Structure 1
Amino acid sequence: MLFKWLIKLRQLVWRPGTFVYVAIGDSTVEGVGASDPSRSCPALVFEKIKNERKRAYFYNLGKSGARIKDVVELQLAKAVELKPDLITISVGANDLRHRTKLRHFEKDFLELIKTLSGKTKAKIIISNIPDVSVVPSIPILVKHLLRFATGRFNRIIKEHAEQFRCILVDLYTGSKIYGRKSTGLISEDGLHPSDRGYALWANAIIGHL
């Protein structure tokens, strides 16, 4: 109900030159791990957009725990309805965690990208799954298994991002580089990015705006 009200409000205030940014995905989109929602990656990206555009609107549809199937079923239609100019996507970590079958992940991911590409005129920026094996508390054997599994999911993300000419932000490579050389990138929960981690991520996206 609230979402439909927001759509109607946007239609009333929309004028030529209005810019709409929609973020979809999981807990990293929602900003879990940040000290404040304003320090999440999408919020920082929007801060940059708002500094350059007077009439900019931001809708964060991210939900903690969301897998690719949840994004398709609960976020995709809303994103299309908002008629965005920019869409950022971060999804896959929960599918990795819950061992979603690769063929199911690929089917839903393809539906997501194909629909967004076909039904919107938005620039689409997709972040792949970071290398969570850099977290110190993870046992050595598990690290190797995680890297292998993450690589398989990320190959699917890369293939279809290229197929539909989306922009790919390579968090996996970035996390391998920064995760070993820098501290303070992971929040106190030991899983999600910290304010500093989100800032680095946002800068990577901003570079493609």
Structure 2
Amino acid sequence: MVAPAFLALGDSYTIGEGVPEQGRWPVQLVARLHDEHVELLAPRIVATTGWTTDELSAAMDAAHLAPGYGLVTLLIGVNNQYRGRSLAEYREQFLALLERAVVLAGDARRVIVVSIPDWGVTPFAEGRDRAAIAHEIDAFNAIARDEAHRAFARWVDVTGISRDHAGEVVDDGLHPSARQYGLWADAILPEARTALRELPPQRS
């Protein structure tokens, strides 16, 4: 029996800016599942540093993705916040991405929405209004969480981890270290395990 396919959608936090491939949280997640004898193929990652919701959507178009994934993760929005884009626009575009993710997975319960981390706590944000950044990140996350719950997709909050481990970043002073990504993988693991063990096999 072929192991389920895994699609990870996002931006710099999903591609793992500044860490080796094995340090990316989707790769670490697969390794943890394998340790538990839960089969999952290596992730197909559609993510690039700097992407906003509309840029991820365009990249998905270019990637010609087709249904049949056993697990799909979606983590997007930090660049919408960073560029000062509106919450209303984010909700509309995030919902469209989530709907596409559900189609690709065949079941909303195979989709895991991951919260946006708080870059305002990192050394990169020195001299900026950290409280304002946190407030905005929370507002974007509230939308993502609301839409995930409405769609019956899974939700995992890693924002608290990012705030508790603010100093665990790569040399750019902004992006998480492989160790912090490992903590994200630990947080996502229970939802991924449940999705893969309890749902019937996906048919492409």
- TM bin (shorter chain): 0.7 to 0.9
Alpha-carbon distance change, 60 to 172 in structure 1, aligned in 2, over 3 angstroms: same
Structure 2 residue runs without a partner (length 5+): 194-204
Partner residue in 2 for 1:93: 78
Residues 55-104 of structure 1: CA distance to partner in whole angstroms, max 9, x if unpaired? 73431111121111111221267475152100111111111111112111
Aligned pair count? Answer: 189
Structure 2-normalised TM-score? Answer: 0.82
Matched, 1:163 2:150: yes
Q: Return the match for 2:181 from 179, 192, 198.
A: 198
Q: Secondary structure at the match of 2:9?
A: strand
State the one-letter code of the partner of 2:185. Answer: A
What is the RMSD computed on CA atoms of the aligned residues? 2.2
Residues 114-145 of structure 1: CA distance to partner in whole angstroms, max 9, x if unpaired? 22224532511111111222224534661011
Partner residue in 2 for 1:25: 10
Q: Counterparts in 2 of 1:133-152, with a 5 A limit?
A: 133-136=120-123, 138-139=125-126, 142-152=129-139
Partner residue in 2 for 1:62: 47
* 1:125 and 1:166 in contact (8 A); partners too: yes
State the one-letter code of the partner of 2:158. Answer: L
Larger relative contact order, structure 1 or 2 (CA cutoff 8 Å, min sep 6)? 2
Q: Return the match for 1:71 from 41, 56, 70.
A: 56
Structure 1 residue runs without a partner (length 5+): 1-15
* 1:44 and 1:202 in contact (8 A); partners too: yes
Partner residue in 1 for 2:162: 175
Structure 1-normalised TM-score? Answer: 0.80
Matched, 1:44 2:28: yes
Q: Distance in 2 between matches of 1:116 and 1:89?
A: 8
Alpha-carbon distance change, 168 to 53 in structure 1, aligned in 2, over 3 angstroms: closer
Partner residue in 2 for 1:84: 69
State the one-letter code of the partner of 2:84. Answer: R
* 1:30 and 1:63 in contact (8 A); partners too: yes
Segments ≥4 residues shifted beyond 4 Å? 76-80
**What fraction of aligned residue pairs are identical, expressed as a percent?**
23
State the one-letter code of the partner of 2:179. Answer: R
State the one-letter code of the partner of 1:164. Answer: A
